[in-house]
């Protein structure tokens, strides 16, 4: 499994373990707008289509059907995901 989701009052907390294989973090699109943010300081990054990778230590808006991918950092990553 690439990640584990747990419900949270405003959305989902998604956890990626430190042993996730980087090649499993593929380019993909989602069916709704969403805002994501790491719950703790992290060196993991996100790359949106036609943009350079950015850190997840601030809120990031991913628009519906926008291509994006995670870039693995060190340790575990826990994301707050709010679907719009």
What pLDDT is stored for residue 84 in this prediction?
86
Positions of E strands within 9-64: 11-16, 34-38, 45-48, 54-55, 60-62
The residue length of the chain stands at 84
What pLDDT is stored for residue 33 in this prediction?
97
By residue range, what is the domain housing residue 57? 4-83
pTM of the model: 0.91
Number of domains in the chain: 1
What CATH number should be reported for the domain holding residue 64?
2.60.120.10
> What string of pLDDT tens digits covers the 84 residues of the chain?
799 999 988 999 999 999 999 999 999 999 999 999 999 999 999 999 999 999 999 999 999 999 999 999 999 999 999 998
């Amino acid at each position: 499994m690439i990640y584990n989701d747990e419900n949270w009052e405003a959305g989902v907390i998604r956890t990626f373990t430190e042993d996730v294989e980087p090649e499993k973090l593929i380019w993909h699109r989602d069916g709704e707008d969403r805002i994501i943010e790491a719950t703790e300081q992290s060196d993991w990054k996100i790359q949106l289509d036609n943009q350079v990778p950015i850190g997840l230590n601030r809120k990031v808006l991913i628009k519906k059907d926008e291509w994006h991918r995670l870039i693995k950092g060190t340790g575990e990553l826990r994301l707050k995901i709010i679907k719009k």
